[in-house]
Amino acid sequence: MNMQQLPQIRPLSDLRSNIGEITDLVDNQQSPVILTKHGRGKYVLLDLDEYRKLVAGRELYHLLEEGIDDVANGSTEEFGKAMKSIREEIAIGRIQN
């Protein structure tokens, strides 16, 4: 998402009557469109690639939090041992390479 472009704010009713214009805003300005319902932000329309990036970022953040918790709780393993275990799992087909 281009952070220099502010999101466009449009009423939800515009989606029905101006769908082409709204999708053009998302495509051409590379900016999400916030759709309001009863004057309040309710939905966000954004490019699928941008959505995927947001989801991937959220998943990565979650994995990092898990890793930090593991370190804090002492649930870690030496790198060499971990790699050996992973290679063994690959060899027996539990993990695909």
Say which CATH number the domain at 14 has. Answer: 3.40.1620.10
- Report d(CA 73, CA 60) in Å as an integer: 20
Name every residue whose Cβ is closer than 8 Å to that of residue 95 and which is 6 or more positions away in sequence: 86, 89
Strand, coil or helix: what is 10?
strand
Contact 35, 42 (CB under 8 A): yes
Between CA 7 and CA 44 the distance in angstroms is 9
- Same domain, yes or no: 55 and 29: no
Indicate whether 72 belongs to any domain. yes
Domain that holds residue 87: 50-91
**Distance of alpha carbon 32 from alpha carbon 35, whole angstroms:** 10
Q: Is residue 65 part of a domain?
A: yes
Q: What is the pLDDT along the chain (97 residues), one digit of tens a residue?
A: 444 578 889 999 998 899 999 999 898 887 899 999 999 999 999 999 999 999 999 999 999 999 999 999 999 999 999 999 999 999 998 888 6
Please check whether residues 58 and 87 belong to one and the same domain.
Answer: yes
- CA–CA separation, 82 and 67 (whole Å): 14
Domain count, the chain: 2
Task: Give me the count of residues in the chain.
Answer: 97
Residue 3 in any domain: the answer is no
